[in-house]
Structure 1
């Protein structure tokens, strides 16, 4: 007796995505348990935090948010502070999302800046 087992494309896709998510979770855990340290506040980190603080109040449209995120991400790309660099990248990914997504990313970047010792100019 031969048993046939056939999965639909959708089931295969769901299984593949779940597998990739599991691998990503394991890799992130292996790299540091999923938490980032505050890190040091170097010149590039200060510039990224200052750029964000200066433009956040005016960034109400998607276009303004994207422009601000580009500026902040460019500054953060030069920092050794992983938390600020990662939060700046997340800000860029959320720039054209919902207001709640933008606020969440903004709050996370501000927290990373403050945790590293940055103070509002």
Structure 2
């Protein structure tokens, strides 16, 4: 029986995506069968307003910022969740990286 999978989705400034991917791949994410370093990457625009107390890597406190970002989706074995999230947080340039984890459903019988 194979281990349950999670899907990690995170957002990264375009210029940092490869570094963040390298970190989460090194932690074991992105493996699909006999393939490694698997991810789906789409381009978009992130927006945020740093508030008092923030130390933004991009932009200024109180100012609305728009940044060219990638949305990255990849799978990971559920047992790797803590290590992969730690790698994401360590490699990501933002003080508070935006991400979410989804538990996949058991596809049954296959």
Do Structure 1 and Structure 2 share a fold, with TM-score over 0.5?
no
Structure of higher CA gyration radius: 1
Per residue, is there more helix in 1 or in 2? 1
Per residue, is there more strand in 1 or in 2? 2
Instruction: Give the number of the structure with larger relative contact order, counting CA–CA contacts within 8 Å between residues 6 or more apart.
Output: 2
Q: TM-score, normalised on structure 2?
A: 0.30
Q: TM-score, normalised on structure 1?
A: 0.28
